[in-house]
Amino acid sequence: MADVPERLPEPAETTDSPANRQRLLVVSPPASRTTHKDGRPVTSLATVFGRFAEMQHLVGDQVVALEDLVQQQGQQLAEVSAQLPDMKERINWLIATYYEDDRDMQCIRERLARQESGLATLTEAVRGLCEAQAQWKQTMDQLLQILGRAQSTPVPAPPRWGE
């Protein structure tokens, strides 16, 4: 029997991150078959069992790598799930803060609306007072003009009766 040199392919590396690189085996067709002188194929059992042992070893390595990956992902999930209560608390706090801020802003808007209404009323009252003052001033000016004309003509003194 002629021993054909067997060559196992190198495992190909695949995965998303360099920290989680795993090895996958790419299997080539068996090279342990040889042809005998009479033309029929002959397989060496030693070669077959050797390849079986190598394959078993490679599968074992892959199983160990998968177990490590599963354990690592389990730890990551445990870390994330440990953070969930804190995240929920923060989210609830944000929602409560937003609700309180919205309620405060609504109160401020209502106060501003009342103050604007009061300011409009006050503005109208001041405008009315200014108009009334202007009318009073005009009336006083007219009265002063009338009194000024009346003063310009001397009024004779009343006669004395006993003199």
75-128 tens-digit pLDDT: 999 999 999 999 999 999 999 999 999 999 999 999 999 999 999 999 999 999
With residue 13 as reference, give the H or E element that holds it: strand 12-14
Question: Is it the case that residue 39 has pLDDT exceeding 90?
Answer: no
How confident is the model over 12-27, as a mean pLDDT?
50
Q: Give yes or no for residue 8 having a pLDDT over 70.
A: no
Choice among 27-31, 35-39, 40-44, 87-91 with the minimum mean pLDDT: 27-31
Between 139 and 156, name the one with better pLDDT.
139
pLDDT band at 33 (very low <50, low <70, confident <90, very high): low
The C-alpha atoms of residue 161 and residue 159 are separated, in whole angstroms, by 6
How far apart are the C-alpha atoms of 120 and 126, rounded to whole Å? 10
CA distances (Å), 148 to each of 23, 91, 112, 145, in order?
Answer: 118, 83, 52, 5
Kindly report the average pLDDT of the chain as a whole number: 80
Q: What is the pTM of this model?
A: 0.39
Q: What is the mean pLDDT of residues 33-57?
A: 78
Q: State the pLDDT confidence band at 28, using cuts at 50, 70 and 90.
A: low
